Structure 1
């Protein structure tokens, strides 16, 4: 079967079938629904202060390749050492001060990851200058181009590529799908993705498929993503 034909088959698959498989694996519809995320609306997203976005990005950067629990347990120390991630203060700190802070025993001492904080503070500041706040930019970013927001984070931020940026968006309440291992495997199995996961071609193909499922189901992208993951892979109850 050609790639184009395989893609067409996937687009025609009813989301109700995917949902039914997920519900069967999670003990029924009630059990499945209890696991699904509920994204914030645009007004709620705009209300999030920009320093909280910086904190969230920083936490996900540190969690990459490390125990998430260890990072969470250490996080109060990060908040104190980095002045609650106040954007203006982050931009005013000289390099030698960052180097000193990277050795503070109350945080996870990793200079490379620490140096993402001023870089991502600069990204947030630039967005605030253009859009009024970083939160406003995120809130207004259209769901039918969520991969465009991923690309923005990767291009203008530091260490926000892969799933780091998307996971942060999900945690903060922005509606986004995530190419988790289960979701990526599913998309590959039915021919939506057949190359590198983070190529423009693969991301746009995934976006198109999720937009179709959203139009069919009326559900937010995050729930569609979760339901697909729950419908396959090793995650039965």
Structure 2
């Protein structure tokens, strides 16, 4: 396996995006652990739910409807979500104010339970996320997949990124790059591929001093479709 130095990846990305300043303007900034801890549990549930609904649907349509979701589901208040009986969830899934999809609606109480259980152990779901070490970020992905509903694949990681947790994303461009240099060989979600991917990102983080979110963005910008 031949792994490029991160400064080589950065230089290629900067050239393709119009220079260092232009590239830096495109990069995400992760929140600090202290900032993450301030996010209420209902906002985590809302974010997971929105990303679940966006999977396979128009993101624009989901965003336009989202104020209705907030109203129909009581602002995603965790205690209220846990108290609602199945019949009430089924009725809400037919509400024309939202996107009617029973399977996705039923992820809301499941993910509310996950958040509640983490809050019982850590004080809040945000505390758990904030304390999770970046060098084991895939472990957090696996936690979401195992304990939540429809949070596998990129759904969980994308939600973490949106909420400010430092994480890389295995987008199509990033996955293609990792395959090209031999980090991923076979299924991307196998234990072997995930551990090799995590090791590569941890090495690049040590080398560059950058957060994981920026490393994966820079990799994507260095090799994906160059949309200016």
Q: Same fold (TM over 0.5)?
A: yes
**Are positions 1:58 and 2:49 aligned together?**
yes
**Are positions 1:205 and 2:199 aligned together?**
no
Per-residue CA deviations over 1:118-146 (Å, capped at 9, x if unaligned) read 00000000000001100000000000000
Q: TM-score, normalised by structure 2?
A: 0.99
Pick aligned residue for 2:140 from 149, 161, 170 = 149
Q: What residue number does 1:30 align with?
A: 21
Q: CA RMSD in A?
A: 0.5
Distance 1:188 1:128 in 2: 38
Structure 1 segment 101-140 matched on structure 2, within 5 A: 101-140=92-131
- Paired residues, number: 228
Structure 2 spans left out of the alignment, 5+ residues = none
**Are positions 1:215 and 2:171 aligned together?**
no
Structure 1 segment 8-87 matched on structure 2, within 5 A: 9-10=2-3, 13-87=4-78
Contact 1:25 1:236 in 2 (8 A): no
Moved over 3 A (4+): none
Q: What residue number does 1:159 align with?
A: 150
Superposition deviation, residue 235 in structure 1: 2.2
Distance 1:201 1:218 in 2: 25
Q: What residue number does 1:188 align with?
A: 179
Distance 2:83 2:191 in 1: 36
